[in-house]
Every structure is written in C-alpha cells, then in structure tokens.
Amino acid sequence: MAISHDAHTVKQFDVLLANLRNLVLEMGGLVEDQIKNAIQALDNEDVAAAREVIARDQIINGMQVKVDEDSVSLIALRQPLGSDLRLIMSLSKIVTDLERIGDEAEKIARMTVKTYDGVSSSPSAKLLRDVHPMSKLAANMLHGCLDALARLDVEKAVEVAKGDDELDQEFQSALRRLMTYMMEDQRTIGHAINVLFIIKALERIGDHSKNIAEYIIYLVKGKDVRHVKMDVLVQDALEEE
Amino acid sequence: MSTTIIEAKANLDNALNAEGRQIPLSSVQITDYDHRQTVGKITVDNPKMICRDVNVYYTGKQALKHVSIDIGANEVIAFIGPSGCGKSTFLRCLNRMNDTIPFCQVIGEIKLDQDDIYDKSIDVVQLRARVGMVFQKPNPFPKSIYENVAYGPRIHGMVDGKAEMDELVRASLERAGLLKEVENRLSEPGTSLSGGQQQRLCIARAIAVNPEVILMDEPCSALDPIATAKIEELIDELRENYTIVIVTHSMQQAARVSQRTAYFHLGDLIEIGETDQIFTNPKHKLTEDYITGRFG
C-alpha cells in the first residue's frame, strides 16, 4: 500500500507530519545552497565566501537535531503506524544523510581556504577540470532526491539511485588523471591532494543522495532496497502491487 | 400477556434442544451482500482451527461475509477493526457463543483440529472447555477465588479428590500469574480482587479446564496500563501451551502481543498478515487508513 493522501481524523497530526516534512525539505534546500556556494567560492578563489559556507554548516546541524527531536516526540505522542511510521523513520534517516552532505560541502570550502588563503601558487586549471562536471552530477542527484521527496515520486528516486554509478565512474577517471599529473610533475602533488579531497567529497554526496533515494523508495513502497543490486532496487521500486 | 425472561429462555432452550443448534429461522429472509476479497495469506503450516467461508446473519442481516482464515497452533492472532466490523462476532463463532443469540445464524465451516465444531454430534459444553473465553469485563463468579477456578474442572469431572483439585487450582493461578497475590486469601470472594487481578482470575478459570484455544474479547479494555502489561506478558507466556485469539481495539496491544493480525471491516476480512507487516506496510488501503487513523 502506497502512501495514503487522505487526511487523518486528528487533523493536528496532519499538521505535525507536514511540518516535519517541510522542515526536511527546507534543510535540503539549504544543503543544496551550501554545495553551490562551496563550488562557487572555489571557482572565484573567494576565501571569505568559503568561510561563510563553513560557518553556515552549524545551521544545518541544528536542523538535523530539530528534525530528530520532532520525530521522537511524534512517535511518543502519536504512535504512528503504517505509512506515517515509515514517513517519520525515513525523514529521520534522510536528515542524517543531508547533514553529511552538508559536511561534504563544508569540506570543499575548507579545501578552498587551504588552497587559496595566503598561498602564492594556485592550482592549474587542468587539475580542477573534473570538479565542475562532478559537482553538476552530485548537485543534480541531491536535487532529484528532494524533488522525489516533495512529490513522493519513486520513479524519480530510482533515477537518482541509478545516477550514482556515473558519478562513481567520473570519480575513478578523475582520480587516474590526478595521479598522472602527480607522476608527471611532483610540484603539483600538494594542490592535487586538495583537489582529490574535493572530488572525493563530491563522490560522497552522490552516495548520500543514493541513500536518500532508497529511503524514499522505502517510504512510498514499504520495501527496504538498501544493499541490494540495482536491478532488484528498480524492480522493487517500480513493481505494482 | 408478556412472557417472563425465564419463560422466554426456557422456550429458546426447548427450541435449541429440539432443533439442534438451529433456531427456527425459516421465516427469516437472508440477504447476501457483496464482499471483498481478503488480501494476504489465510493459511498457515500448522493450523489449530480452520475456518472456511463463514457467514453470520443476525435476523437475516449479514454481519460476517465469507470469512476464511486459519488459526495456527500456539500462535497469538489479533483481530482488529472499527466497531461493528464483525471481529467479535467472528470470535464468538469459534466456540459457538453465538448459539445463545436468538436469530443468529452461522453458515460455513469451522474446524478445531479435525472436528467440525458446528456438527450435530459436538457437545457444546465440551467444545467450550476446549475453546475457552475471556471477556472484556472481568466476570468472576460470585464465589471464592478458589471456587472460581475449581468450578470448571469440577463440572467436567476432571479431578479426583480434594488434593488433586487443590493442586490444579494452584497450578492454574500460578500459570495466570496470580498465585503469589492470592495464595493466602483463596477463600475470599473473587469479586474482592482488583480489576486486573479479576481478569487474571478469569484467565486462570479458563485455563483450569486445560483448553486448547483461548478466545479473548478485549481482555484489557477495562484495565490500567500496569494490569494490561501483566495480561500481555501472560498472553506471551500462555502461547507456549495454548492458541490465543484476541480481539482488541488497541492497535498497540495487537502489535505487542500477536504474531499475526487480521483486519475486519464491515463484515469483511480485509487483510491478514504478519503483525509487523500489517503495522508497517499494510497492503490494503482500508487497513492503512484504519491503522493510521484516517477514517473520517
């Protein structure tokens, strides 16, 4: 049984559930901004903007705590069952991954500070060439997740989960290229390692987004698709009951 | 000139005796309504009771529609659903409690092990010893605690002598988790106990005749949370030796005590499944709407 869209007899319960979901979506929006701003700060070599990203991570941490507090009190006071229980459990897990995505954005910002703050030489453009395509893929995955959550859209969630492979492959090729540069010219090693941390952060954003997509499939379909092969995930998510 | 209740009862008893279980119903028009297909697996590997296509009519009005379900040996199965959904009616079919209700007609097959419990050869008193019942309100007999438990074994001639009876009464009270609280006051009236203790006394009374199945009709709805917890703990322990069918309005209770849950709605058995599946991922929209509190 998919999610019921009918109202609860106790209307206050509907309000509380809607508030919780909106809070998670709002947090998702902030995390998206964090990624965007972190990449922009890197592009512009803007250390001040990067520091702002680092500072704003606290807001996201606070929202995670708030969502978890609200979830616990909803469980204690309303004894949710069925899709309501799945919604609360999924939201509580989704915010954990959102918070970690926030941490990855913060890591990118830290690398920007490390790379450009009072350092005489900047990394060459070729070292950074993979950052853009990867950040686009990662941001798209996160956006897709939030979209799927807002509309309880399993097809969208499946699309996000499938997208993780592409990002992983991009990461592998980027890693190979960075190694080649480092072998060619040892003076690039310092910058290359910073870039490596950045692309690793982007790759992790993809993993967390895939987790979120899996929670959305659980929320809508009641099927746990973590740690299963992609074809099983697709089948479980899309099969009609 | 109206008849007294006693006369009416005598007339009814005569009718029952004359016709077997059949109350003369020939004049009553039976109407069958559309019914819904049950979602989920109705069968189990080791059934204690097998119910097939059970219909119940009250003066021709269909209260239960084509219910088919197995009740597994040594399982706790919970029946849930809104008021008037037929869950208590169905429970009462399982030991023929509906026989005493005038113009109630049960059609279909209910087997306890191999025996069709509605067969003419079945002794209803014996049947109710095999399928015991605990009611919503604790209803101890107006007798001593001891006599409440001893009554069943005595009328069924289950024991020889006082010593054996003492032993059986103590064992039953022990299994119902009540012995420690009452062993020094066995001669006091059963009604002197607290509500929770009275309910456990009723459970002791039910298990004293060594039943195979125990039916419980909202056994905790008149009890406080601590007494409720004790009964629930008891249900879990009793499962080792008995099969338990429980009707409850508390979904949390159904979730806590049962292994399988059946959801009834307007006389239909809508869905049956493992309890955790029913409460986390029900398949039928009506089940989902009921457990999440969406009936408007």
Q: B243 is written with which tokens?
A: 């099969």
**B contacts of A13 (beta carbons < 8 Å):** 293
Is residue B9 predicted with pLDDT exceeding 80?
no
Asked if residues B52 and B226 have their Cβ atoms less than 8 Å apart, the reply is: no
**What pLDDT was estimated at residue A97?**
98
B145 is a domain residue:
yes
Q: Answer whether residue B66 is part of any domain.
A: yes
Distance CA B3, CA B11 (A): 10
Terminal CA-CA length for chain B: 47
Question: What single letter denotes the amino acid at residue A178?
Answer: L
Q: Report if residue B109 sits inside a domain.
A: yes
Is A82 close to B285, i.e. CB distance below 8 A?
A: no
Identify which of B252, B287, B293 has the shortest CB distance to residue A8: B293
How far apart, in whole angstroms, are the C-alpha atoms of residue A59 and residue B71?
Answer: 54
Contacts of B265 in chain A (CB under 8 A): none
How many angstroms separate the CA of residue A84 from the nearest CA in chain B?
7
Number of domains in chain B: 1
Over residues B197-222, mean pLDDT? 94
In this complex, the residue of A9, A83, A241 whose CB is nearest that of residue B296 is A9
Residue B162 falls inside a structural domain: yes
Domain membership flag for residue B48: yes
Place of tokens 């028009």: B29
Question: Does an H or E element contain B131, and which?
Answer: strand B131-134
Q: Which two tokens stand for residue B177?
A: 């988790």
How many Å lie between the alpha carbon of B277 and the closest alpha carbon of chain A?
9
**B287–A81 C-beta distance less than 8 A:** no
Structural domains of chain A sorted by starting position, each given as residue range(s) with its CATH number in brackets? 11-238 (1.20.58.220)
Render pLDDT for A184-239 as a digit per residue (tens, 0 to 9): 999 999 999 999 999 999 999 999 999 999 999 999 999 999 999 999 999 999 98
Q: B280: nearest CA in chain A?
A: A82
DSSP B225-275: HHHHHHHHHHHHHHTTT-EEEEE-S-HHHHHHH-SEEEEEETTEEEEEEEH
The DSSP secondary structure of B216-231, one letter per residue, reads EESTTTTS-HHHHHHH
The pLDDT of residue A33 is 98
State the ipTM, two decimals.
0.83
CA A227 vs CA A87, A161, A202: distances in Å: 20, 12, 21
Q: What are phi and psi of B62, to 5 degrees?
A: -80, 120
Is it the case that residue A74 has pLDDT exceeding 70? yes
What percent of chain A clears pLDDT 90, i.e. is strictly above it?
Answer: 93
Q: Is the pLDDT of residue B1 over 50?
A: no
Whether A222 sits inside 8 A of B281 (CB atoms) is yes
C-alpha A97/C-alpha A95 separation (Å) is 5
As a whole number of angstroms, the distance between CA A161 and CA A135 comes to 16
The two tokens of residue B296 are 């408007």
* Amino acid in position B274: E
Instruction: Indicate whether B3 pLDDT > 50.
Output: no
Per-residue pLDDT tens digits for B210-265 = 999 999 999 998 888 998 998 999 999 999 999 999 999 999 999 999 999 999 99
Minimum mean pLDDT range among A25-39, B2-16, B47-61, B210-224 = B2-16
Contact A9 B288 (CB under 8 A): no
Q: What is the mean pLDDT of chain A?
A: 95
Q: Does B21 have pLDDT greater than 60?
A: no
Q: Are A70 and A15 in contact (CB under 8 A)?
A: no
Q: Are residues A8 and B284, on separate chains, in Cβ contact within 8 Å? A: no
Region B176-183: what's the mean pLDDT?
93
Provide the b/e sequence for A156-195 (b: ≥16 CB within 10 Å): bbbbbbebbeebeebbeebeebbeebbeeeeebeebbebb
What distance in Å separates the CA atoms of residue A71 and residue B87, rounded to the nearest whole number?
33
CA-nearest residue of chain A to B40?
A241
Of chain B, the percentage scoring pLDDT greater than 70 comes to 90
B252, B281, B289: residue with CB nearest A4: B289
Which chain A residues touch B295 with a CB distance below 8 Å? Answer: 9
Å between B93 CA and nearest CA of chain A: 30
pLDDT in tens, B51-75: 999 999 998 889 999 999 999 999 9
Identify whether B275 is part of a domain.
Answer: yes
Q: Which of B77, B41, B22, B19 is nearest to B259 (CA)?
A: B77
Closest CB to B293: pick one of A10, A222, A241. A10
pLDDT band at B2 (very low <50, low <70, confident <90, very high): very low
Which domain does B77 fall in, by range? Answer: 5-291
According to DSSP, the β-strands at B131-134 and B115-116 are unpaired
* Exposed e or buried b per residue across B240-271, where buried means at least 16 C-beta atoms within 10 angstroms of its C-beta: eebbbbbbbebbebbbbbbbbbbbbbbbbbbb
Q: Average of pLDDT values for B19-26?
A: 50
Contact A203, A132 (CB under 8 A): no
Average pLDDT over residues A155-182: 96
**Are B263 and A57 within 8 A, CB to CB?**
no
Sign of the alpha-carbon torsion through A118, A123, A125, A127: negative
- The answer to whether position B296 is within a domain reads no
Domain containing residue B28: CATH number: 3.40.50.300
A86 contacts chain B (CB < 8 A)? yes
Q: How confident is residue B5, by pLDDT bands cut at 50, 70 and 90? A: low
Question: Cβ contact (<8 Å) for B283 and A241?
Answer: yes
Q: pTM of the prediction?
A: 0.85
Stretch A75-95: mean pLDDT: 96
Percent of chain A residues topping a pLDDT of 70: 99
B80, B249, B294, best to mutate vs chain A, most A CBs in 10 Å: B294
Of A9, A84, A85, the CB nearest to B295: A9
State whether A4 and B296 contact (CB < 8 Å): no
Q: A79 — contact with chain B (CB < 8 Å)?
A: yes
Interchain pair B287, A1: CB under 8 A: yes
